[in-house]
A and B are shown apart, each in its own frame.
Chain A
Amino acid sequence: SQTIHQWPATLVQPVGSPLSLECTVEGTSNPNLYWYRQAAGRGLQLLFYSVGIGQISSEVPQNLSASRPQDRQFILSSKKLLLSDSGFYLCAWRPGQNYGYTFGSGTRLTVV
């Protein structure tokens, strides 16, 4: 079966520290992968998407970056976190054209 995993579920990090959030998908190949951020009580903002290994497109200028080192792995990173980076980070995938999105369970990041 096809599943998506995100970890960690919660994270508290000090300002200026690095960040690495990981998302993996099982049971499929060559999925489109997406990172979204949701601020408290707000909507979903698309941060990055990837249509293949090493192919990353950025939607919002910020101090975050994304990488896709393997077909089913998508990583969100930061070298130095800001307070404004706090939020709920969601990974999503789409198996290919003509399929809908499936979201992971999310990572709650609090920058202190």
Chain B
Amino acid sequence: QQQVKQSPQSLIVQKGGIPIINCAYENTAFDYFPWYQQFPGKGPALLIAIRPDVSEKKEGRFTISFNKSAKQFSLHIMDSQPGDSATYFCAASNYGGATNKLIFGTGTLLAVQP
């Protein structure tokens, strides 16, 4: 119940394409769903996050779509660029919980070809 399942494991798109990364969770107590971007040799950086009271959130070229009934959420990258090539992790947690442990998906390695 604590798992977050992420797919695909890797993804290759052409510049300008729209890569989509999907995640699913089981624990209905989760109420905070962030996405992290990680470049090689660096720590993950928070990209965008969503709470379950909305179905979509946009920040620049990045969009999270959230389906509470299906317990699924996804990341869309509009007009993808070679600089977006990185590993992307979805995560989930009980946002207001005292310990607030962040459970990560297994990651998606994205390559955007020029």
Interface residues of A (CB under 8 A from B): 6, 32, 34, 36, 42-44, 46, 49, 51, 57, 59, 90, 92, 94, 97-98, 100-106, 108
Shortest beta-carbon distance, A33 to chain B, in Å?
11
A71 and B107 CA atoms in complex are apart in Å by: 31
Across the interface, which residues of A come within 8 angstroms of B106, CB to CB?
42-43
Main secondary structure of the interface of A (DSSP, over half): strand
Residue interface bits B23-44, CB-to-A below 8 A is 1, else 0: 0000000001010100001111
Q: A46, A92, A100: which has the most chain B beta carbons within 10 Å?
A: A100
Interface residues of B (CB under 8 A from A): 32, 34, 36, 41-46, 49, 89, 95-107
Find out whether the CB atom of B95 lies under 8 angstroms from the CB atom of A98: yes
What 4 pairs across the A-B complex have the smallest Cβ distances? A103-B43, A43-B106, A44-B104, A106-B43
Across the interface, which residues of A come within 8 angstroms of B42, CB to CB?
105-106
Find out whether the CB atom of B100 lies under 8 angstroms from the CB atom of A32: yes
From B34, B41, B102, A46 is in contact (CB under 8 Å) with B102
Shortest beta-carbon distance, A43 to chain B, in Å?
4
Find out whether the CB atom of A90 lies under 8 angstroms from the CB atom of B44: yes
From B98, B99, B102, A101 is in contact (CB under 8 Å) with B102
Find out whether the CB atom of B101 lies under 8 angstroms from the CB atom of A49: yes
Find out whether the CB atom of B107 lies under 8 angstroms from the CB atom of A42: yes
What are 15 contact pairs spanning A and B, CB under 8 A? A6-B43, A32-B99, A44-B44, A51-B99, A57-B99, A90-B43, A97-B96, A97-B97, A97-B98, A98-B96, A100-B34, A101-B46, A103-B36, A103-B43, A106-B41
Across the interface, which residues of B come within 8 angstroms of A101, CB to CB?
34, 46, 102
Across the interface, which residues of B come within 8 angstroms of A103, CB to CB?
36, 43-45
Shortest beta-carbon distance, A60 to chain B, in Å?
12
User: Given the interface contacts A43-B89, A44-B89, A97-B96, does A102 sit within 8 Å of B46 by beta carbon?
Assistant: yes
A101 and B101 CA atoms in complex are apart in Å by: 10
A101 and B103 CA atoms in complex are apart in Å by: 11
